[in-house]
Amino acid sequence: MAQYRQGDVLLIECDAVPKGAKRRTGVVVATGEATGHRHRFEDESAVAVYDAPDGDGDLFADVKFDTALVHEEHGPIPVKPGVYRIRRQREYTPEAIRRVSD
């Protein structure tokens, strides 16, 4: 199964969007808290993005045809058609496990 990483965003190919996932508007998968820069799919018509039904903060992307994951500070990552689970990198602190801030 394919995997793609761009900064703190990881795409992991999977079999299907889970039942109960809610479709989002747009193709932004992460926004930097400090910079406001966005990890997003280049071609909005190529992708449907969903919130995970379990509420863990992960997303799913159903990519219908070739597109790219783009970001202002990273080179574009070509993404092939398929379904992907999208995870943000996490880090440990004594207080809690949290997402990495961009």
pTM (2 d.p.): 0.81
Domain count, the chain: 1
Domain boundaries, position 33: 3-99
Q: Residue 39: is its pLDDT beyond 70?
A: yes
75-93 per-position pLDDT tens digit:
899 999 999 999 986 544 5
Give, rounded to a whole angstrom, the gap between the first and last alpha carbons of the chain. Answer: 27
Q: In this prediction, what percent of the chain has a pLDDT beyond 70?
A: 81
Q: Tell me the C-alpha distance between 39 and 88, whole Å.
A: 11
pLDDT average, residue stretch 7-22: 92
pLDDT average, residue stretch 37-44: 90
> Cβ(23)–Cβ(48) under 8 Å?
yes
pLDDT score at 72: 83
